[in-house]
Amino acid sequence: MFEHRGSVFVVSAPSGTGKSTLSQRLVQSVPGLIFSISFTTRAPRPGEVDGKDYFFVDNDKFDAMVERGEFVEWVEVYGRKYGTGRTWLESVLSTGQDVLLDIETTGALNLRQAIPDAHMIFILPPSARILEARLRGRGKDSEEQIRMRMEHARHELELFEAYDHLIVNEDLEKAYRGFEAIILATRSRKARMANEAKRILSGF
């Protein structure tokens, strides 16, 4: 555990639910909200930039970081490792900025152990049928990959009770407003605004 001025928001969702679209819009629209940059052992995809999209490292370096306790959380998914760097996260939070982490359910639950006051947000598809249709509509996955993604989605959805906020992405605009409202409402909580209130009070 560590002290932090900013808030930590964790978002998880099955593939194809619209999580990336919603998250990207949120960090572009809400001042003071930074998107977390994870470490990963997978190779960069076309257009991805080291230090902006991910910190790309090899397996040996990743494993060494695990041994030194340099991750707040880390997981292995489909043979690739992903982790949230402790130093990077602490440095951003110490400035008072908020951080949004896009991580799958296992990593999210691990992070909750390190940061108990993290705000956990889960985005749900309207139904299994609609999620499958969205996956097929992307045209990126084989039938076998779609089957695997649907099985994994069921596993992820079974963990919804571990999250604080649930958003159904049936209508993108409505889902975004709900997502944004969680961030803004959290910023007005007494625990976060108490020092500002005391400062104002001291002027009377």
pLDDT digit string (tens) for the chain, length 204 residues: 555 689 999 999 999 999 999 999 999 999 999 999 999 999 999 999 999 999 999 999 999 999 999 999 999 987 899 999 999 999 999 998 999 999 999 999 999 998 999 999 999 999 999 999 999 998 888 999 999 999 999 999 999 999 999 999 999 999 999 999 999 999 999 988 998 999 999 999
- Buried/exposed 49-66: b ≥16 CB within 10 Å, e otherwise: eeeeebbbbeeeebeebe
Cα 27 to chain centroid, rounded: 12
Set out the domains of the chain in order of their start, with CATH numbers: 8-36+98-202 (3.40.50.300)
Cα 126 to chain centroid, rounded: 20
Neighbouring residues of 102: CB distance < 8 A, sequence distance ≥ 6: 11, 12, 19, 20, 23, 35, 36
| Residue 3 confidence (pLDDT) | 56
Per DSSP bridges, beta strands 71-77 and 80-85 are antiparallel
| Residue 78 confidence (pLDDT) | 78
Dihedral Cα 91, 93, 98, 102, nearest 10 deg? 60
